[in-house]
Structure 1
Amino acid sequence: MDVQLPLISKAWQHVKALIGIDTHALVNEDDIEGKLSLKAIAQCYPSHSAQSEIDKKLLYTPLIPGIDNFIGRDSQQQQLTDAIERWQNNKGELTAVIGPFGCGVSSFLNQFHQQYAQEHTVTYLSFYHGVLTTKEAIANLCYCFNITEAPTSITAAIALINQLPRHIIIIDDLHKLMLRMMGNYQALVTFATMLMETRQHHCWILGCETFVWHRLSSQYSITNFVKSIITLDYFSQQDLADLLKQKTSQISLQLTDTNDEETNNSLFDNMAKQLHQASDGHPKLACVLLLQALVNDGNSPITLNPISQPDLSSLKQCIDEDLFSLAELYVHGGLRVFQHAEIFATSIEHSSLKLEYLARQGLVKAHYSKQDFAQHYYLITPTLTRIIAMHLLNHNKLYL
């Protein structure tokens, strides 16, 4: 048998580079003093279940409903209330709530869902996947009204929806509509047309990621149709301190041996400042960094080690091909292997190896399909969205 060893060797080097076996792509980042690797951060959250009661309280327990879910969101809360009041006065227009991944757009919309559910019929919809046909777009919007047999035409669907009792419909994860695959444009047009033609009768509130919103604006002029745009961002230092105060009130954290309130407050403010600098106001990342700094030996109270900074070594080693993949994963909110292959016009096998390499580095989180590897789903690790987005922006892979 004629075995071409040079070709095999070259192919093996390419496979190793893709899945992260190459020695130059592996750095023992956890040994860097004062730094916490992105992989270590990614392994902290989310997991299938909280590892301890402290994990549960810091990372998984929601804030007190109705009071503190709106930390730092007073003006945005009023803007959304005003938009709903205009609709109640028969002056309804489309409203969008935009913000970067991890800043709390979904939590913000969920809180309004709970707040208005007692007064109005409120439906909350989060897209499971992007729509690619007119039929899928009609079916998704009809689903908001529990219409099981959707009309086949846009005109009939609009007429039917406008005959139904008035609803508030909150549609989150609008980025799922940005799937750059064949048929996507017509699905977007159908979706937008139905919203525009029913906006007077029903109140439509849309949640969307900031960079995706800019892409929708530049490619489809979506801002021409949305009247109210409410912008969220990551937390300011004071807002993050307020959130951390609530989180740490649920655990026995002690920053000093004294009972002096002024000293305790000063130490807490210093801790919050360090966490804000390390996380750029990303609440989940700040909580993970806090969790990693806690000294919990089973005794009470819990004390604190120095706050670690995220180590960006693995991200800095990414080549352009990796960064382009991360950018598409970011704006789509996640991709399946076959979707990545279609977007980059490459093979399923190449896409599978590329995405698995990023997962091995801790940059993306994988959800594996037992039936078909082409259906494996990858998304940016939730705690790293801010870090990765800024890196992509600085390397001209995301655009404002």
Structure 2
Amino acid sequence: MASQKLADCPSTPGVPMSETDLQDPPNPAAPSSPQPPVLDEKVLGQCRADGVTFRAAQAEAITRLLESLAKGRRQLAESFAQRPKNPPPEEAKEFVKRLQTELTAQRTWLLKKVRPQFEQATKGRLAGRKTVLALLEKLTDSARKQLERYQAERDALPLPADAGLSAQLAFRLRETARARGLLNSPAENLPTTEELEYHPLVEELSELSARLHSRVADLWPSIRFHFQVAEEELARLVVSEEEKKSAVDFGKGVEEAEQLACGVLATAEQQIAELFAPLDDYWAGLAERLEVCGQKLAGGKYSGSQPWQDLGESLKRRGKKAFRHYFDISDQEETSLLRAASHKMFSNLQEVLHKEAAPQEKLLSLTDLPSAQEVLRRSETFPPLHRRLFTLGPLKTREFLVARDEELEVLDDLFTRWEQGQACSLAVIGPEGSGKTSLVNCFASEYGAQGELLRLEIDKRLQSPEDVIELFRQGFDIKKPLATLDELIGELLTRPKGMVLVEGGHNLALRVVGGGRAVEALCYLLLATRRHFLWLVTFRKVPWERLDYQYQINRFFTHQISTLLAGQQEIRQVLLLRQRISGYPLTFSGEGNGKESNGTTGDGRERENRFFRELFTASGGNLDAAFHYWLLCLGYDAESESFHACPLGKIDFSFLRELDGDQRLTLAEVLGHGGLSAEEHQRIFHCDPLTGRLRLEYLASLGLLLVEPPRGAGGDVRYRLNPVYYTPVVKTLEVMNILY
């Protein structure tokens, strides 16, 4: 009995066990060995039941979603099937109106009812992960109790009186090691909650759930976009009563609209069902896999753990490590090791020095880059639906808004504070094309149903308080003339409380003597009314910095938001979301600039990372620039109906340093004002009109400036910086200390 109980106890290193000690006769008076730990069937049954319950709830939610999509598709198909043949204009117009009403109703039903029901039923993509984690924690806790009971019973066994010398030494060694914390029990080797998060069962479920929920998340903006495009295509069929379209054209247009609306629902049904199948198989086999896992946990067999009986091996490894550290390595051997390491390092250095340098990558010059008009003409070969996704302009709803969660939280908090009676005003700051209008549009679309909303745009330069008074008198539709700011403020405070969106804050000042009085007037207006109105004013980045430097304008805004994206991950999310919604597959090729191979090797993920790294470097986080370079790098294969993206490469902007001083200063003033007319340029630089127009036109010919036609009668042609080149222009001017 003694030998059976102590056979697993290792002997003291250096003290061999005798043959007599190993063959002690059994002692009938000794207590029996404790029962080894086993899996608790009751706990396992609870885990099985919880898994079955979650699987049933998830399957029900997915089934309801698929049934809703199928129902909407059938109803739309029935409505489209009623199209008349060779309809007269009035009948065609009436039919299109009915279809548009049906599309609007179906879109509202899917987005406002089906979507919340599904999200409430599934409780997000992490619900399954939390469930499996909870099941594993139950099994781990049960195994820990079993192992602790088993260890306590084993520890209670006394040392037999007839135990040999080696057995006594091993027993004392084990007790000493346990007292000093050198020996872990099986219960202590079981995984913690943090370690269970990396369990294979959890990681596999996370991957399967991410695929399904990402596709469902893409479904809602896809439905909104496809339905809106279908409505617009139908509206084109009856755009004019005088223009009579043939029956073939009318039927073809209705058929294309049906493919857009019904096609997106049918594709979603198929893809969601395919993604749900492996997830359902996972839950179906989870009970069996949990049983295997529970048995391993109950036996103390967890990856990375060591059973408590392996004390001898553990001490042996520790002893060998200490012995080698203190005795095996002499000074001479240590010197020889350093010499060998130095020789290897020197050899590697020689290899690097004699190695031929890699060919330097050719930089793209400005002449290699097509203009925005040329890129748009090139994209006309793309499918119309795909092209529309990347030429939408400012967004109107949150469906396509990506990487703006923090900004929207600030807006929601700001609105709550203002409703509570606090004085609030917000400045939205960013370069042109960075998403300022999209952000305020998305917020305004949700606020519009809750209160009064007024939108204004400063579309011309304001230089005096009178200009500010006239702007808001017209914006608020005040009929009587107003002479002073106090009269304007008194009139505004009689209006209902609400939110005021003002775009174009960069037009508040001109860099001339007395050119900033409009800034002071607007700030005075904000201070007097920002408890009554929630003010949201957009500013371009460089003009805001100049206004803040000259007038400390940030003091008059309680909150500020920057819209320039900070990293390539956000740019990646924005572009790939729209690409997924288009429904066309995308691959990233290894060909440079769409012309020739650059010899890049590696898998698709590495090519994708390189693509977005170069695109972010070129765009600097500006969305307009990112869309421009994205369309430039895309290619479409009509045969396979798929897209491929080639690397953008590096662009050479060194020519900006070669511009003469007046041209660089002109660029700086265009940036600092958000745009200039020739007359404003003349006032700033005190030059004749022809010289100023020549400088502006030359920069426009290089593509650095965009020309805006006059707005209204008597308006001036304006020049603004091309958003595509915002980042390199700003960096160059800052390095040359022209912008600061």
Measured against the shorter chain, the TM-score band is 0.7 to 0.9
Which of 234, 237, 245 is 2:568 aligned to?
Answer: 237
Q: Which residue of 1 aligns with 2:264?
A: none
In 1, distance between residues paired with 2:570 and 2:664?
31
In the alignment, does 2:587 pair up with 1:255? yes
| Contact preservation (8 Å) 2:454, 2:499 | yes
- Structure 1: distance between partners of 2:714 and 2:655: 25
Shift of 1:265: 5.4
Q: Which residue is equivalent to 1:106?
A: 437
Contact 1:34 / 1:307 at 8 angstroms: preserved in 2? no
Counterpart among 590, 600, 615 of residue 275 in structure 1: 615
Cα drift, residue 125 of structure 1: 1.8
Q: Are positions 1:321 and 2:662 aligned together?
A: yes
Counterpart mapping for 1:153-302 below 5 A: 153-181=484-512, 183-249=514-580, 250=582, 252-255=584-587, 267-296=607-636, 298-299=638-639, 300-302=641-643
Describe the SS at the equivalent of 1:255.
strand
TM-aligned CA distance change 1:256 to 1:394, over 3 Å: closer
Aligned length: 362
Supply the AA of the counterpart residue of 1:210.
Answer: K
Residue pair 1:98, 1:230 contacting (<8 A) in 2 also: yes
Superimposed CA distance per residue, residues 241-289 of structure 1 (whole angstroms, 9 cap, x where no aligned partner)? 11111232226343179xxxxx655654443233223322222222222
Compared CA separation, residues 55 and 331, structure 1 to 2 (3 A)? farther
What is the TM-score of this pair, normalised by structure 1? 0.81
Query: Secondary structure of 2:737's match?
Result: coil
Q: What letter is aligned with 1:237?
A: Q
Match of 2:364 among 35, 38, 43: 35
Residue 348 of structure 1: how far off its partner (Å)? 0.4
1:59 aligned residue (387, 391, 394): 391
Q: Distance in 2 between matches of 1:392 and 1:323?
A: 7
**Residue pair 2:619, 2:724 contacting (<8 A) in 1 also:** no
- Matched position secondary structure for 2:450: coil
User: 2:369 and 2:714 mapped to 1: Cα distance?
Assistant: 26
Distance (whole Å) between structure 1 residues aligned to residue 524 and residue 440 of structure 2? 23
Deviations 1:67-125 (A, max 9, x none): 331x2222221112111111111112222122233321222112212121111111122
Runs of 4+ in 1 over 6 A off after TM superposition: 45-50, 370-374
In 2, the alpha carbon distance for the partners of 1:47 and 1:131 equals 34
In 2, are the aligned partners of 1:138 and 1:150 still within 8 Å (CA)?
Answer: no
Return 34-43 or 367-376, whichever deviates more: 367-376
Indicate whether 1:365 and 2:706 are aligned.
yes
Q: For residue 92 of structure 1, give the secondary structure of its aligned residue in structure 2.
A: coil
1:131 equivalent to 2:466? Answer: no
CA pair 181-388 structure 1, distance change in 2 beyond 3 A:
same
Q: Which amino acid aligns with 2:584?
A: S
| Preserved CA contact (<8 Å) 1:340 1:351 | yes
CA shift, 1:337, in A, is 0.7
CA distance in 2, matches of 1:218, 1:106: 24
1:85 equivalenced with 2:426 (yes/no): no
- Partner residue in 1 for 2:731: 390
Quote the residue 1:380 is aligned against.
Answer: 721
Query: Would you tell me which structure has more helix in proportion to its own residues?
Result: 2
The 2-side partners of 1:108 and 1:255 are apart by 30
CA–CA separation in structure 2 for the residues paired with 1:95 and 1:325: 30
Judged with a 3 Å threshold, the aligned counterparts in structure 2 of structure 1 residues 175 and 45 are, in CA distance, closer, same or farther, namely farther
Quickly say closer, same or farther: Cα 1:373–1:118, change in 2 above 3 A: closer
Q: Which has the higher contact order (CA 8 A, sep 6+)?
A: 1
Per-residue deviation, 1:178: 2.3
Q: Do 2:432 and 2:540's aligned partners in 1 also have CA atoms closer than 8 Å?
A: yes
1:353 maps to a residue whose letter is: L
Secondary structure of 2:441 counterpart = helix
Q: Which structure shows the bigger proportion of residues in strand conformation?
A: 1
Q: AA paired with 2:683?
A: E
Once the two structures are superposed, what CA deviation does each residue of 1:131-169 show, in whole Å capped at 9, x if it has no partner?
Answer: 122221111123332224441111111111111101200
Structure 1 vs Structure 2 CA RMSD: 3.0
Shift of residue 362 of structure 1? 1.0
Q: By how many angstroms is 1:39 displaced?
A: 7.9
Q: Deviations over 1:20-77 (max 9, x none)?
A: xxxxxxxxxxxx95525278354348979974535433233666822331x2222221
Tell me how far apart the structure 1 counterparts of residues 457 and 380 of structure 2 sit (CA, whole Å). Answer: 28
8 Å CA contact 1:363–1:380 kept in 2: the answer is yes
Sequence identity (%):
23
In 2, distance between residues paired with 1:371 and 1:63?
A: 26
Secondary structure at 2:651 match in 1: strand
